Structure 1
Amino acid sequence: MNDAPAQPAAAFPIARSLFVFALVYGGMTVLAGFLAVKQVMLGPTGLGVEAGIFAFLVLVVLSSATAQLHGASTANRLVVWGFLPLAMSIVLILLVLRLPADPEMWPQGLEAFQLIHATTPRIMAAGPVAYLVSLLLNVWIFSKLRGSGEGSGSVGLMIRGAIASALSQAIDSVIFITLAFGGEREIGTLIAGQALAKIVLSFVLVPFLIALVVRFARWLDRRPIR
């Protein structure tokens, strides 16, 4: 029997920044659905938007930063595998909703839980479809705008991030609202309002966040392994 100690594995078989991105990304896919329950107003603009957009914009930032640092194919894999925690959360929510509640549970809390999480099947199906299409589109546009050059300058990076985010978020609004509410209510004004709010956020927040995250990731990857 060989009692020789096992050789330690490499401390970071993937880039440290990609490891951190994946952790945060998985959490944001789940959190976006919970935050979407609340509708918020965007300050003086008077635009209303579901609060899940803030977590979704983090997904846009992370997928764009991944494409910038690790390539479009890696960013696409991040988006596709990021669907896994989202799908698992939906399955677990459906399971918990069908399990009998503890009779000693606070009645108002149970009612609120059921009300918030018992969304219709159409809405549950619309979210993942819009997620996959819009985020894969974001990576594709972001990478195409980069062209064959390095394209790592801060200004170019921010411009590409804003354009890719704005276009993909507009498509996200069209897909999600059409699948979730089409035929049940008038969706034209709802799509327009949601898309406009997301485009505004894409130009105001996303460019700076992408530049910041890319700078942080490069610093993280330069740190010595301990």
Structure 2
Amino acid sequence: MNDPPPAAAPFAVTTPRGLSMPLAMFVYTLLYGGMTVLAGVLAFKQVQLWPTSLAVESGIFPFLLLVVISSTLSQLYGREAAKRIVWWGFLPLGLSALLMQLVLALPASPEMIAFRPDDLAAFERVHQSTWRVWMAGPASYIVSLLLNIWIFDRLRGRGEGEGTLGLMIRGAIASALSQAVDSVIFITLAFYGEFDITDLMIGQVLAKVFLSVVLVPLLITFGVRTARWLDGRAG
């Protein structure tokens, strides 16, 4: 059982009702909300993972940070706290989608139509997506992140893996498996039937597993240490 570490009074966030939230949880929650929105924006560009030939949609980078944040919160404050953050992540995700549709529906200004038609066309072309993509994103988001938290917590067992090496191994395994599932769900829901998704599926899974093994363990270790530093500061 992981009880939240005591936070010094000047560095805890206190609500009007007197409820206190550790500073690290508050900071990471803000970052989490921002990353849910950014992931959808960056997903429109595919990048090559040098020095390999693997390509991946850029939304994976903020999404991996979502994995890191949720794993860090699970490590320090327990699985239920991390799950709540994941479910509340639907709020900024849903609001950003609604606002994007509102902006696309509103008419552009005469000045932009006259002097920046190329910018307007590029904006609308990039951000107008099909209903399948809008449905695939939240579906893969909730399944993969809840799966990541569950695997990360289950691998912990009864206190094993509390050292840095154990933390990194659990983070790598949980992230790799959950990211593979995320790729299968998203690509299938978004693109199945429109073209042969085999190569895209294989490339996405390999790329995400590669990044999960290489980056996530280090980022989780850094995230846990940063959170403990924030919560442990003396007033």
Q: Normalising by structure 2, what TM-score?
A: 0.90
C-alpha distance in 1 between matches for 2:16 and 2:150: 34
Shift of 1:72: 0.3
Shift of 1:12: 7.6
1:56-80 residue CA offsets vs partner (Å, 9 max, x unmatched): 0000000000000000000000101
Structure with greater contact order relative to length (CA < 8 Å, sep ≥ 6):
2
Contact 1:68 1:152 in 2 (8 A): no
C-alpha distance in 1 between matches for 2:32 and 2:66: 6
| Counterpart among 133, 146, 154 of residue 164 in structure 2 | 154
**Aligned twin of 1:66:** 73
| Counterpart among 42, 62, 81 of residue 88 in structure 2 | 81
1:21-68 residue CA offsets vs partner (Å, 9 max, x unmatched): 100000000001111111100001110000110000000000000000
**Aligned twin of 1:171:** 181
* Other structure's SS at 2:47 match: strand
| Counterpart among 17, 21, 24 of residue 24 in structure 2 | 17
Q: Counterpart amino acid of 1:109?
A: D
Contact 2:160 2:166 in 1 (8 A): no
**Aligned twin of 1:109:** 119
Contact 2:136 2:186 in 1 (8 A): yes
Distance 1:101 1:12, change over 3 A: same
C-alpha distance in 2 between matches for 1:66 and 1:201: 20
Q: Normalising by structure 1, what TM-score?
A: 0.93
1:87-117 residue CA offsets vs partner (Å, 9 max, x unmatched): 1101111111111111111211111110110
Shift of 1:221: 0.1
Shift of 1:10: 8.3
* Other structure's SS at 1:49 match: strand
Number of equivalences:
218
Root-mean-square deviation (CA), in Å? 1.4
C-alpha distance in 2 between matches for 1:207 and 1:30: 23
**Aligned twin of 1:204:** 214
Gaps of 5+ in 1: 1-7
C-alpha distance in 1 between matches for 2:159 and 2:195: 46
Choose 142-151 or 47-56, whichever is displaced more: 142-151
1:170-202 residue CA offsets vs partner (Å, 9 max, x unmatched): 000000000000111111221111000000000
* Other structure's SS at 1:40 match: strand
Gaps of 5+ in 2: 1-14
**Aligned twin of 1:191:** 201
Q: Does residue 42 of structure 1 match 2:46?
A: no
Q: Counterpart amino acid of 1:14?
A: M
C-alpha distance in 2 between matches for 1:50 and 1:12: 40
C-alpha distance in 2 between matches for 1:148 and 1:99: 55
Q: Counterpart amino acid of 2:117?
A: P
Shift of 1:19: 0.3
Q: Counterpart amino acid of 1:214?
A: V
Contact 2:187 2:201 in 1 (8 A): yes
C-alpha distance in 1 between matches for 2:17 and 2:223: 25
Shift of 1:81: 0.3
Q: Counterpart amino acid of 1:162?
A: A
C-alpha distance in 2 between matches for 1:93 and 1:10: 35
Shift of 1:151: 3.4
Contact 1:16 1:221 in 2 (8 A): yes
